[in-house]
Amino acid sequence: MVTPGIAETDEYHHKAMIERLMGNFRERLGQPYVFPNGFKQSIKLDSQGEKKYSGTPKFKDLETWLVMVTNRFALS
């Protein structure tokens, strides 16, 4: 049996992590990037070959992957 305090803490942590990921989406995709005239993109979109998220249990791995994907999407 899980004590009520532990269950509430787990739920709070879960919601905080989801909000943090959603914040990444909002921050990077919430408004379009505007590049100055003559700007040349230095990243070749297919050159680094993004990998699928491997499903590691580390939140930081998921967050890093999400930031990379949303940045590339916003720049394309």
For 12-46, write each residue's pLDDT tens digit: 999 999 999 999 888 888 877 777 888 777 666 55
Structural domain contains residue 5? yes
pLDDT at residue 34 in the model: 78
| Structural domain boundaries, residue 9 | 1-28+52-76
User: Could you give the count of Cα atoms lying within 13 Å of 29 in the half-sphere of its Cβ?
Assistant: 16
Structural domain contains residue 44? no
Structural domain contains residue 46? no
Structural domain contains residue 42? no
Tens of pLDDT, residues 44-54: 655 555 677 88
pLDDT at residue 44 in the model: 60
Structural domain contains residue 60? yes
pLDDT at residue 16 in the model: 94
Structural domain contains residue 33? no
Structural domain contains residue 41? no
pLDDT at residue 43 in the model: 61
Mean pLDDT of 46-71: 80
- How many independent structural domains does the chain possess? 1
